[in-house]
Every structure is written in structure tokens, then in C-alpha cells.
């Protein structure tokens, strides 16, 4: 579910999935039953510049001008990989998820958090950069929830089990 009260939600990819160019072949994978608030952004590798070279300037993008090999254009940035959002994740208002980040099942990303590192399942993170605030449940419960994988159940079973799924602790 994506809520956008500023832009047309059907333009999610255009407005929220940024610097996602085909040269890297990276992907945004979003699990089932996720809630994404207005303004959340997913920044892919092309938003970054290489930190491993003397200069951060993107010379490889201007291969013709600098007589560089066009095949090396992706060396202008460090490729950190796909962005993977688990199942039942809540991403808060204007949160930013950086390239290569994996967010575990049941995690909550606070409003305006900038997520630069992986988030463990059922962990609440917030801040800039995002840091763990607390776990939603104890380790035994998290382990049980990860084993249950309720998001993979049939629609009929989910409907039957809604009282338990929606129960507040």
C-alpha cells in the first residue's frame, strides 16, 4: 500500500524510485502487506559517487569527452546492489532507503529516517542515519513470526486468522 497526498500514487516509480538506471541491473523488491507513507524515497546506486577513487567526480559518465571506455560507465559509482523490503514493513513519511539496503520482515522505518544499513526483522529504526530504536517483540516471538510467514498464507486463511493477526499485545 502506498499513500501519497502530494503526487499521483500511480506515479510511484517515477517520483519515489530515484537514480534507477538500467546500466546497473539492480532491483527494488517490496514484500507483501507493506505500508509506504507519502514521500518515501528509494535511492539507487547511480545517486552515489565512487568513494574509492581520488576524485568523486563522475568522469566515466562523460566517456566521450574524456576518451574513456563506454563499457566502464558504471564505475562512476559504487554498486551496493538491490534494495529489498521484507513483508509487513511500514516505511514512514519521507523516509529514504539507500541502495543495497535490506529491510527485514515486520520492520518499521520512522518518518524521515535515512536508512543506510540493513534493518533486522521486527526492528524499529529512526533518525539520520537510521539507528535501531527497539525490537517490536522479544527474540522468541520474532523467531516464531519468521517461521509462520503468515504473508504467504492463502487469502482465505489470512481472512480466517485476522483476529489473531490484528490482536494487540
Give me the active site residues, please: 49
List of long-range contacts for 100-107, beta carbons under 8 Å, 24+ apart: 100/45, 105/31, 105/145, 105/146, 105/151, 106/136, 106/142, 106/145
What is the helix, strand, coil percentage profile of the chain, to 5? 30, 20, 45
Distance of CA 160 to the CA centre of its chain: 30
The C-alpha angle 118, 78, 105, rounded to 5 degrees, equals 20
In the beta sheet, which residues pair with residue 103? 85, 119
Question: Which cell numbers hold the place of 158?
Answer: 489470512
Question: Which cell numbers hold the place of 73?
Answer: 560507465
Amino acid at each position: 500500500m502506498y499513500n501519497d497526498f502530494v503526487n499521483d500514487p500511480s506515479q510511484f516509480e517515477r517520483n519515489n524510485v530515484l537514480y534507477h538506471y538500467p546500466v546497473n541491473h539492480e532491483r527494488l523488491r517490496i514484500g507483501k502487506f507493506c505500508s509506504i507513507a507519502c514521500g518515501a524515497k528509494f535511492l539507487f546506486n547511480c545517486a552515489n559517487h565512487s568513494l574509492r577513487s581520488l576524485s568523486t567526480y563522475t568522469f566515466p559518465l562523460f566517456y566521450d569527452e574524456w576518451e574513456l571506455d563506454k563499457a566502464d560507465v558504471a564505475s562512476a559509482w559504487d554498486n551496493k546492489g538491490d534494495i529489498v523490503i521484507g513483508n509487513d514493513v511500514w516505511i514512514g513519511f519521507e523516509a529514504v532507503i539507500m541502495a543495497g539496503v535490506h529491510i527485514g520482515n515486520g520492520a518499521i522505518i520512522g518518518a524521515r529516517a535515512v536508512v543506510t544499513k540493513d534493518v533486522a526483522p521486527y526492528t524499529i529504526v529512526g533518525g539520520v542515519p537510521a539507528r535501531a530504536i527497539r525490537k517490536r517483540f522479544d527474540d522468541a516471538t520474532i523467531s516464531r513470526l519468521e517461521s509462520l510467514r503468515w504473508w504467504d498464507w492463502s487469502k482465505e486463511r489470512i481472512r480466517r486468522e485476522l483476529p489473531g493477526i490484528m490482536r494487540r499485545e
